[in-house]
Structure 1
Amino acid sequence: MTIALIAFDGSENALRAIDEVLDTMDTSKLHVHLLYVCEPVQVNELLFSQDPVLTMLSINKAHEESGWTLLASAQARLESAGVAFDAYVRIGNPAEVITDFSREYHCDLIVMGTRGMGAIKNLLLGSVASKVIHLTEKPLLLVK
C-alpha cells in the first residue's frame, strides 16, 4: 500500500497533480491523504477588532470552511476514480504543515502542484513547493 499526501490549494496545477497520481500510480494499492492548508490569521486582520480572540476564531473558521469548499473538486476526482482517501483542512504555515503532516501520517510520497512563478519571483517571495523541498526528507512529486 502506498500512502500519498496530496497538498491541494485549489489551483489548476493542484488538479493536474491529482490527475498525475491517478494516471501513473496503481490506484488499487493507493491511499491518499488530501490536505488543504489555510494561512494563519494575520496581525493586521486583528488590529481594529474589539475582541481579537473572537475575531481570530471567526476568521479561522471562515478560512477552514473555504478550504473544505476548495477540496470538493479534488474529493470528487478521487471518488470517481475509486481511490481510498481522507481529507483534512489545517491552519498554519503551509510548507511546515505539509512536511509535519507527511511525517505524522507516514506518507510515502508528497504530491503537489507548482505555481510556475519563475526563478526571480521565487527568489523574492519563495514558494510553498520550494520550502517543502528544503524541509522534507520524503519523495516529492511536483506537477506544473
Structure 2
Amino acid sequence: MTITLIAFDGSENAMRAIDEIVDTLDTSKLHVHLLNVCEPVQMNEVVFNEDPLLDILSIKKAREEAGMALLTPAKARLESAGIPFDVHVRTGNPAEVIIDLSREYHCDLIVMGTRGMGTIKNLLLGSVASKVIHLTEKPLLLVK
C-alpha cells in the first residue's frame, strides 16, 4: 500500500497533480490523504464584539468550510478513479502543515503543484513547494 499525501489548494497545478497520480500510479495499492491548508486567523481580521473568541472561531469555521468546499473537485476525481482517501482541512503555515501531516500518517509520497493560489504567480517554483522540498525527508512529486 502506498500512502500518499496530496496538498490541494484549488489551483490548476494542484488538479494536474491529482490527474498525474491517477494516471501514473497503481491506484489499486494507493491510499490518499487529501489536504487543504487554511491560513490562520489574523488579529486584524477580528471585529471585537462582545466576545472576540466567537469572532475568531467564526472566521476559523468559515475558512475550514471554504477549504472543504475547495476540495470538491479533487474528491470527485479520486472517487471516479476508485481511490480511497481521507480529507483533511488544517490551519497553519502550509509547508509545515504538509510536513506534519505526512509524518502523522506515515505517508510514502507527497504530491503537490509547483505553484498554487499564492499572490506571486510568475515564480517558477512556489514558496510552499520550495519550503516543503527543504523540510521533508519524504519523496516529493511536484507537478506543473
TM-score normalised to the size of structure 2? 0.91
Deviation for aligned residue 1:54: 1.1
Deviation for aligned residue 1:137: 0.7
In 2, Cα distance between equivalents of 1:143 and 1:86 = 21
Note the aligned Cα RMSD (angstroms): 1.4
Give, as a single letter, the amino acid of the residue that structure 1 aligns with 2:13: N
Query: For residue 106 of structure 1, what is the aligned residue in structure 2?
Result: 106
In 1, Cα distance between equivalents of 2:52 and 2:93 = 20
SS in 2 for 1:129: helix
Give structure 2 stretches of 5+ with no counterpart.
116-120
In 2, Cα distance between equivalents of 1:92 and 1:36 = 10
In 2, Cα distance between equivalents of 1:89 and 1:132 = 18
Deviation for aligned residue 1:53: 1.2
Give structure 1 stretches of 5+ with no counterpart.
none
Query: For residue 62 of structure 1, what is the aligned residue in structure 2?
Result: 62
Any residues of structure 2 matched to 1:42-57 within 5 Å, and which? 42-46=42-46, 48-50=47-49, 51-57=51-57
Give, as a single letter, the amino acid of the residue that structure 2 aligns with 1:133: I
Any residues of structure 2 matched to 1:55-94 within 5 Å, and which? 55-94=55-94
Corresponding position: 1:127 with 2:127: yes
- Percent identity over paired residues: 75
Deviation for aligned residue 1:43: 1.9
Superposition misfits of 4+ residues, deviation over 3 angstroms:
none
**1:4-60 alpha-carbon deviations (Å, 9 max, x no partner):** 0000001110000000001110000000000011010012112x4223211110000
Query: For residue 141 of structure 1, what is the aligned residue in structure 2?
Result: 141
In 2, Cα distance between equivalents of 1:93 and 1:117 = 21
SS in 1 for 2:56: helix
Query: For residue 31 of structure 2, what is the aligned residue in structure 1?
Result: 31
Query: For residue 41 of structure 2, what is the aligned residue in structure 1?
Result: 41
SS in 1 for 2:71: helix
Give, as a single letter, the amino acid of the residue that structure 2 aligns with 1:5: L
SS in 2 for 1:130: helix
SS in 2 for 1:22: helix
Give, as a single letter, the amino acid of the residue that structure 1 aligns with 2:32: V
Paired positions, count = 138
Deviation for aligned residue 1:135: 1.0
TM-score normalised to the size of structure 1? 0.91
